[in-house]
A and B are shown apart, each in its own frame.
Chain A
Amino acid sequence: MTISFHIMDTDLDHMPRHMVYRKMERLIQEMQHAQKGVPVKSQKSFLSIIPAVFTGEDFIMWLKRRLSVSEEEAQHLACLFCQYGYIFPVTDTKVLTVKDDNSLYRFQNPHYWPSQDLDPDNVAYAIHLTKRSMRNKQKHGLEEHEQMALNKLQKMLCDKKEFIECQARDQVRLAKERKRTDKAVLDSQERAFWRIHRPAPGQVKCIEEGPKRNFRCSQIESRKLRKDILIKKVQVLRKSYAMQGVKTSQALEIYITRAEKYHDYDPMFIPVYPSNPWISDETNFWDLCDDHTDILTERRVKMWALSFRDMLADRLGQGEFENFLKKEYSQENLRFWRACEDLKFAPVSRVPTHIDTIYREFLMAGSLHEVNIDSKTSQLVQQNIICLLFLASDLLSALPFITKPLYGSYSTFLRCFVNVSAVAVFREFLTAGSLHEVNIDGKTSQLVLQNIRDGKEGKPSRFTFAAAQEHIFLLMKKDSYARFLRSEHYKNLLSNALQPEGKKKFFNFGSRKKNMLTPSPKPKRRGSSNSGDGDGETTVGPVAHHSYSTGNLQELDDKAVVLRRDVNSSDSSLTRCDTSPNLSRRHERASSTRGESPRKNRQLQLEVPKHMSLNLDGSARGEQSSCLALSVPSKTNVVAPWEGSE
């Protein structure tokens, strides 16, 4: 009967997650303070006196003052006290809420607090019910669900029948010896307890716990002292200590900036245009945010300017950016980044092919869409690839990645490829002085060796291009993205965008056709298909240069065109510096492409003649022209020249 109070502090394991009980009990104890607590008294009611009760009004008022909260919050909290069984209604016992009026409530005996006994067992419940069935029907009679429960329990616990009845009899006898008021209070408390723990059907049982935790609190504490966990902890702490700290003020600036910048785009603050679907029951807003919409809203276009990430997160934003890059002849950057993202999250089985494709398409010297990364990054990538492929025993694929193709060893390489383990390969090609030593630098070979020794297959694979990807990402973010936001292209998108006021609506109806001509509907197709998709490419040529297509040309005044040309040309000279050694070859390829498809590129010539002339005027500007040609989107370009040069 007397479960002591100290259990709570000593034996944490049996009281998981019960901080809340401690807090509630502290409050309840305060409430029972003679002077400062909730006024408890006996209440006259018709002919009888109800002992030790207080009103809901007083209770709520007390909470409100004590915690300085609103009426509503105090009432909500009061109900929780009631549902957790710290107080219970005396008159209307069925409803576990606290009303803000004269209804009467009573404090629960600490013995019955939920922190004391978490899961009262069936035997105790059976005793309680049997006891009541032995007593005055009118006062203690069982309710329907209780009678049903008792019947069930009697069947279940038939072996303990004697014990239960004996206990119940004892308790009834004890009760008879008590004073009448005490008896009434105790009875009500006991019943209240069971109402919480064995609620009537349909009532919430709120003191239930979730499933048991795997580790008990004491286990967690002892695990914290385990060596492996401690070692990790010390490591992290050392890292933290070594980390160059940032001033709090500096770190906090991010939050302020974001809050200000995004305030207008947070639907919790500013209603979205045309309406929030959840409020208006209309889905227009979602239709306008769709990847396949023809109409761009101003909000959407403006959001692209919030951050590079926001733009990339929106398929259409990515598409527009790609169109812009296409004009700048640097779209391979975006495609490379996308391919790397795909690789990072690709299924394990497809990782090798992904790596192969990416390397061939973007990184290999002279590849079709070569991206510009510095030599250090590129070395890193190559090291990674070589390691990786050796590990995967995939020598065939490894071969092209090795910087200087080893013509002599090539065939041997191929022959060895069939069912050779990485180690065998290593012996054959990589160990110093081996017959067909492959020429890789010392660091790489070390890395290979170590990886082989570790047997960590495929581990670095997914992140083979991480360094390169980051490099390209930053390049796009700092360079192209900034220019994109300043560009006419973006400004046009913005001015053509649908505005919330509705005044532009007419204009927009008129410009809808124009909107269709703008690339907005196109990128989605490309966005949804794979980045390396050739089909998408064919349609791109004319579309990408929408603002100069014949339909649009009239609308553009000369000034804008001139301006744009300037922007483009200066940009190109800024960005395109290539130091790789394959210039002439690529240039050849470039010009051959031009020759093959002059018709297709007519529109291109029309709009950016400067670039065309650059492209054609020989080796002095070879670097630029090579890039130009590489990114010219046309199907012929995709296959023919590269294959030819192989």
Chain B
Amino acid sequence: MATESLGKILRTDESVEALTREAETLKAKLAEEKAKLNDVDMCVVSQRLESLQQFNIKPRRVLKGHQGKVLCMDWSSDKRHIVSSSQDGKMLIWDAFTTNKEHAVTMPTTWVMACSYGPSGSVVACGGLDNKCTIYPLSLEEDPASKKKAVATHTSYLSCCSFTCSDYQILTGSGDSTCALWDVENSQLIQSFHGHAGDVMSIDLSPTETGNIFVSGGCDKVAMVWDMRTGECVQMFEGHEADINCVRFYPSGDAFATGSDDATCRLFDLRADREVNCYKKESIIFGCNAVDFSVSGRLLFGGYNDYTVNIWDALKGTRSAILYGHDNRVSCLRISPDGTSLCTGSWDYTLRVWA
């Protein structure tokens, strides 16, 4: 159906040159249109808001146990369990509150770059250089590995995965430049998403109730918004000068933030269809690997290659604080579901919980 509808809109005999030209003219026209609508800068609007006071975020837990670089982590919906995966092929389930490890799974691969907790909290998924996304049901009696199940297969490494609103579906992103939605039960592809020109590095599902959309970012420096029902790309955002490492929706779902190797984080608004803020500083020269918002959307946390977490005032665009503590790159970062804490994972083999 996709190709057919394309044929209706675009002549199939159109040459690459013509297409490129059309893309350029459209881009120019769009820029013009947007310039007309761009009546005010975010920094000006946000002057109305009071400045943030100094807040006091400290490391509260250090999770030690990985024997390699921590690459990915995710919170359980119970607000205290964490799944993390590392370069040495281990996936650990932590009770972060007590810092106890509850399960350990050894993957048949190194660089487990993606892991995700199922919404029910009773299943986790992970994958990496094995090009697969494997599901592990968690139970107290049995070793999770005994009931593992490979659900998704890509033609290159798995860079990110995320359950949708249920344990039955999982969305994956891969180095093969595609994203895909899979049925967990039958390991069946429900929908694939083609359009990125480079490795997909990160995906995030829209938090809105009607939002059947998700956003992806990758090495082609483009962030794309997809309709999960049709598999079509509905919006495309350019602006970054290097790989996009992380995408994350603003809590209301009206925008998303990106973190990139060009050492900036950006905020793209879906309705305005443009970049509305860019978080950068001359002193920040290292790439950003992970971003997330506080509950109110006022704070944007960024995990950087310079071992720090920078906390931005997402509205005023200024930096409010730096968190020091890790001894190597901060590779992943997530705010807990209730917003009470922030968890960071690092190449220094540890995870830290800040509050």
A and B: interacting chains: yes
- Chain B nearest CB, measured from A464 CB (Å): 11
In the complex, are the beta carbons of A211 and B315 less than 8 A apart? no
In the complex, are the beta carbons of A236 and B235 less than 8 A apart? yes
Question: What secondary structure prevails in chain B residues at the interface with A?
Answer: loop
Please report the C-alpha to C-alpha distance between residue A228 and residue B233 in the assembled complex, in whole angstroms.
Answer: 13
In the complex, are the beta carbons of A255 and B315 less than 8 A apart? yes
**In the assembled complex, which residues on chain B have CB atoms less than 8 Å from the CB atom of A241?**
26, 29-30, 33
Please report the C-alpha to C-alpha distance between residue A267 and residue B30 in the assembled complex, in whole angstroms.
Answer: 40
Does B106 lie at the interface of the complex (its beta carbon under 8 Å from any beta carbon of A)? no
Does B141 lie at the interface of the complex (its beta carbon under 8 Å from any beta carbon of A)? no
In the complex, are the beta carbons of A248 and B16 less than 8 A apart? no
Does A54 lie at the interface of the complex (its beta carbon under 8 Å from any beta carbon of B)? no
Does B345 lie at the interface of the complex (its beta carbon under 8 Å from any beta carbon of A)? no
Q: A249-B39, A309-B208 are in contact. Are A265 and B295 (CB under 8 A)?
A: yes
In the complex, are the beta carbons of B252 and A258 less than 8 A apart? yes
Please report the C-alpha to C-alpha distance between residue A208 and residue B184 in the assembled complex, in whole angstroms.
Answer: 35
Question: Which of A271-279, A426-434, A438-446 forms part of the interface with chain B?
Answer: A271-279
Does B282 lie at the interface of the complex (its beta carbon under 8 Å from any beta carbon of A)? yes
State the total of A-B contacts with C-beta under 8 angstroms: 305
In the complex, are the beta carbons of A249 and B45 less than 8 A apart? yes
- Chain A nearest CB, measured from B31 CB (Å): 11
Please report the C-alpha to C-alpha distance between residue A255 and residue B276 in the assembled complex, in whole angstroms.
Answer: 11
Does A176 lie at the interface of the complex (its beta carbon under 8 Å from any beta carbon of B)? no
* Proximity string of chain A (53-81) to chain B, C-beta cutoff 8 Å, 1 when within and 0 when not: 00000000000000111001100110010
Question: What secondary structure prevails in chain A residues at the interface with B?
Answer: helix
Does B263 lie at the interface of the complex (its beta carbon under 8 Å from any beta carbon of A)? yes
Please report the C-alpha to C-alpha distance between residue A69 and residue B347 in the assembled complex, in whole angstroms.
Answer: 26
In the complex, are the beta carbons of A234 and B19 less than 8 A apart? yes
In the complex, are the beta carbons of A24 and B285 less than 8 A apart? yes
**In the assembled complex, which residues on chain B have CB atoms less than 8 Å from the CB atom of A249?**
39-40, 45
User: Which chain A residue has the least Cβ–Cβ distance from B322?
Assistant: A73
**In the assembled complex, which residues on chain B have CB atoms less than 8 Å from the CB atom of A76?**
306-308, 324
Does B251 lie at the interface of the complex (its beta carbon under 8 Å from any beta carbon of A)? yes
Please report the C-alpha to C-alpha distance between residue A456 and residue B1 in the assembled complex, in whole angstroms.
Answer: 8
Does B183 lie at the interface of the complex (its beta carbon under 8 Å from any beta carbon of A)? yes
* Proximity string of chain B (28-39) to chain A, C-beta cutoff 8 Å, 1 when within and 0 when not: 011001101111
Does A345 lie at the interface of the complex (its beta carbon under 8 Å from any beta carbon of B)? yes
Does B80 lie at the interface of the complex (its beta carbon under 8 Å from any beta carbon of A)? yes
In the complex, are the beta carbons of A67 and B197 less than 8 A apart? no
A residues 171-206 with Cβ under 8 Å of B? 204, 206
In the complex, are the beta carbons of B285 and A345 less than 8 A apart? no
Does B107 lie at the interface of the complex (its beta carbon under 8 Å from any beta carbon of A)? no
In the complex, are the beta carbons of A345 and B306 less than 8 A apart? no
Question: Which of B132-140, B142-150, B297-305 forms part of the interface with chain A?
Answer: B297-305
How many positions in chain A have a CB within 8 Å of any CB in the partner chain? 97
In the complex, are the beta carbons of B20 and A225 less than 8 A apart? yes
In the complex, are the beta carbons of A266 and B296 less than 8 A apart? yes
User: Which chain A residue has the least Cβ–Cβ distance from B190?
Assistant: A348
In the complex, are the beta carbons of B19 and A230 less than 8 A apart? yes
In the complex, are the beta carbons of A279 and B6 less than 8 A apart? no
Question: Which of A153-161, A212-220, A401-409 forms part of the interface with chain B?
Answer: A212-220
Neighbour of A341 across the interface among B6, B165, B262, CB < 8 A: B165
Neighbour of B243 across the interface among A17, A24, A463, A470, CB < 8 A: A17
Please report the C-alpha to C-alpha distance between residue A71 and residue B320 in the assembled complex, in whole angstroms.
Answer: 16
**In the assembled complex, which residues on chain B have CB atoms less than 8 Å from the CB atom of A260?**
49
- Among A235, A286, A470, max chain B CB count under 10 A is at A235
**In the assembled complex, which residues on chain B have CB atoms less than 8 Å from the CB atom of A342?**
166
A residues 330-388 with Cβ under 8 Å of B? 341-342, 344-349
Please report the C-alpha to C-alpha distance between residue A266 and residue B212 in the assembled complex, in whole angstroms.
Answer: 26
In the complex, are the beta carbons of A210 and B252 less than 8 A apart? no
In the complex, are the beta carbons of A248 and B355 less than 8 A apart? no
Neighbour of B295 across the interface among A229, A231, A236, A268, CB < 8 A: A268
Q: A259-B49, A263-B296 are in contact. Are A473 and B339 (CB under 8 A)?
A: no
Does A503 lie at the interface of the complex (its beta carbon under 8 Å from any beta carbon of B)? no
- Chain A nearest CB, measured from B214 CB (Å): 13
**In the assembled complex, which residues on chain B have CB atoms less than 8 Å from the CB atom of A251?**
254, 269, 271-272, 276
In the complex, are the beta carbons of B184 and A347 less than 8 A apart? yes
* Proximity string of chain B (87-127) to chain A, C-beta cutoff 8 Å, 1 when within and 0 when not: 00000000001000000000000010100000000000000
Given contact pairs A211-B113, A213-B175, A234-B19, a sample of 4 additional A-B residue pairs in the complex whose CB atoms are under 8 Å apart: A220-B197, A250-B271, A348-B183, A463-B212
A-B CB contact pairs (8 Å), 26 listed: A17-B261, A19-B262, A68-B282, A80-B286, A80-B306, A211-B111, A214-B156, A224-B220, A236-B234, A237-B26, A239-B234, A245-B33, A246-B37, A248-B41, A248-B272, A248-B274, A249-B40, A259-B298, A265-B295, A266-B296, A267-B295, A267-B339, A278-B353, A289-B338, A344-B212, A345-B169
**A-B CB proximity, top 3 nearest:** A214-B175, A345-B166, A262-B296
- Interface residues of chain B, those whose CB is within 8 Å of chain A, are 1, 4, 6, 9-10, 14, 16, 19-20, 22-23, 26-27, 29-30, 33-34, 36-42, 45-46, 48-49, 52, 55, 57, 60-61, 79-80, 97, 111, 113, 129, 156-157, 164-166, 168-169, 175-177, 183-186, 188, 190, 194-195, 197-199, 207-210, 212, 219-220, 229, 232-236, 241-243, 250-252, 254-255, 261-263, 269, 271-274, 276, 282-283, 285-287, 294-299, 305-308, 314-315, 322, 324, 327-329, 338-341, 347-348, 353, 355
